[in-house]
Amino acid sequence: MPRIFSGIQPSGELHIGNYLGAVKNWVQIQSLHESFFCIVDLHAITVPYEPAVLRERTQAMALTLFAAGLDPARTSVFVQSAVREHTELQWIFNSVTPLGELERQTQFKEKAARQEQVMAGILNYPVLQAADILLYRADVVPVGEDQVQHLELSRVVARNWNARFGANFFPEPKPLLTPTRRIMGLDGQAKMSKSLGNTIGLMETPEQTWAKLRPAVTDPARVKKTDPGNPDVCNIFQLHKAFSPEATVAEVDRQCRSAGWGCIDCKKVLHANMTAELAPIQARAQEMSAKPEGLRDALGDGAAKARTAAAETMRQVRDAMGFA
Ligand code: TRP
């Protein structure tokens, strides 16, 4: 059975863009493969941060992942820093990673430009990511567009290590691009992102969600309710595609083009479908926060399974490389 691995930063509260772009897809594919999903707290320290906040966000992310439907009986969900082999393999991979490949990474250049003093961690970030994936000898990595270059680097690392120490030991991991295209924010202007304030949080109440949906940008050419609209340029239509059944999506298309429904009518239908999907997730999150030991145990089980797989890879790596 092919293995899948993916990672997510513990970045505070998840919004529907993160959910649709990654987590929902993970839930759908978790039982098709042997899967490992990792909360990458070691990656999170490459930018300035507060230890207490990191710890809190890691726990919150774990709770959200289980609430969204990752099933600890079928998959390993764990925290990266709980499995020491990630950092061991990262050091080893530094010795087969060309510096030029790291300096060329778009995300490195962008992050470096934003920092006053550039720490080596942001340069080596993709080496740790390669270690995450290859530690489990994963074949498939579900990610968004923005991670394709990092994945390419993982392939270089695998190829170089294999060429030097053991042909075909590490598979070259392939990205599995999330079917949902990137989700735009409620302003319809830019990708949904917490820093832009154009998000809907996964844990927001129906009232809060409606307060944000109601004024959200639609087809700008549709000024009056009697103007026919173009769903292809409407962000609300994109959200319908993510949350509404196919028949409803077709109906929205018709009613928009014929000016049968106004934008508020259309948003009400979206709101109902969004609420129907989020309500059970929120209910599970509520339940789980009432018993923290359940979360601790689930993460513990995930880490134990991850450690078993990681230890086996490292035994072979250490042997091939001449360590005592
Ligand atoms: N860099 C990824 C992101 O920012 C997170 C990540 C870390 C990851 N390690 C990974 C993703 C391994 C996939 C596989 O989204």
Residue identifier of the C-alpha nearest atom 3 of ligand 1: 8
For residues 178 and 52, membership in a common domain is answered with yes
Residue 13 pLDDT: 85
The radius of gyration of the chain's CA atoms, rounded to the nearest angstrom, is 22
The catalytic residue positions are 111, 191, 194
For residues 89 and 146, membership in a common domain is answered with yes
Ligand 1 atom with the smallest distance to the CA of 22 is 15
For residues 215 and 311, membership in a common domain is answered with no
Phi–psi pair at 79, nearest 5 degrees: -100, 130
- What distance in angstroms lies between residue 18's CA and the mean position of ligand 1's atoms? 13
Residue 56 pLDDT: 96
Ligand 1 atom with the smallest distance to the CA of 150 is 1
Residue 266 pLDDT: 97
Within a domain: 65: yes
- What distance in angstroms lies between residue 135's CA and the mean position of ligand 1's atoms? 14
- Can you tell me the mean pLDDT for 51-75? 97
- What distance in angstroms lies between residue 292's CA and the mean position of ligand 1's atoms? 26
For residues 240 and 310, membership in a common domain is answered with no
Other C-beta atoms lying within 10 Å of the C-beta of residue 313 = 17
CATH code at 261?
1.10.240.10
Residue 194 pLDDT: 85
Ligand 1 pocket test target in 38, 87, 134, 137 with most atoms within 8 Å of CB = 38
Residue identifier of the C-alpha nearest atom 8 of ligand 1: 7
Residue 12 pLDDT: 80
Phi–psi pair at 5, nearest 5 degrees: -135, 140
The sign of the torsion formed by the CA atoms of 258, 262, 263, 269 equals negative
Residue 1 pLDDT: 77
Residue 11 pLDDT: 86
For residues 265 and 296, membership in a common domain is answered with no
pLDDT band at 180 (very low <50, low <70, confident <90, very high): confident
pLDDT band at 126 (very low <50, low <70, confident <90, very high): very high
Residue 38's SS3 state is: strand
Within a domain: 189: no
Range of the domain at 238: 204-285
CATH code at 48?
3.40.50.620
Ligand 1 atom with the smallest distance to the CA of 9 is 5
Compute the distance between CA of residue 257 and CA of residue 82 in angstroms, rounded to an integer: 53
- Can you tell me the mean pLDDT for 293-316? 98
The pLDDT mean for the chain works out to 95
For residues 167 and 313, membership in a common domain is answered with yes
- Over residues 39-50, the pLDDT tens digits come to 999 999 999 999
Phi–psi pair at 136, nearest 5 degrees: -100, 5
For residues 272 and 304, membership in a common domain is answered with no
Within a domain: 133: yes
- Over residues 189-243, the pLDDT tens digits come to 899 988 899 999 999 999 999 999 999 999 999 999 999 999 999 999 999 999 9
Compute the distance between CA of residue 154 and CA of residue 166 in angstroms, rounded to an integer: 16
For residues 39 and 65, membership in a common domain is answered with yes
Which of 27-31, 76-80, 129-133, 151-155 shows the lowest per-residue confidence on average (mean pLDDT)? Answer: 27-31
Residue identifier of the C-alpha nearest atom 11 of ligand 1: 7
Compute the distance between CA of residue 320 and CA of residue 162 in angstroms, rounded to an integer: 10
Residue 233 pLDDT: 94
| Cα 91 to the center of its chain, rounded Å | 25
For residues 47 and 112, membership in a common domain is answered with yes
Q: Domain total for the chain?
A: 2
Share of the chain above pLDDT 70, in %: 100
For residues 242 and 307, membership in a common domain is answered with no
Ligand 1 pocket test target in 19, 90, 132 with most atoms within 8 Å of CB = 132
Residue 234 pLDDT: 95
- What distance in angstroms lies between residue 202's CA and the mean position of ligand 1's atoms? 20
For residues 61 and 153, membership in a common domain is answered with yes
Pocket-forming residues, ligand 1, beta carbon under 6 Å:
5-7, 9, 40, 43, 129, 132-133, 141, 143, 147, 150
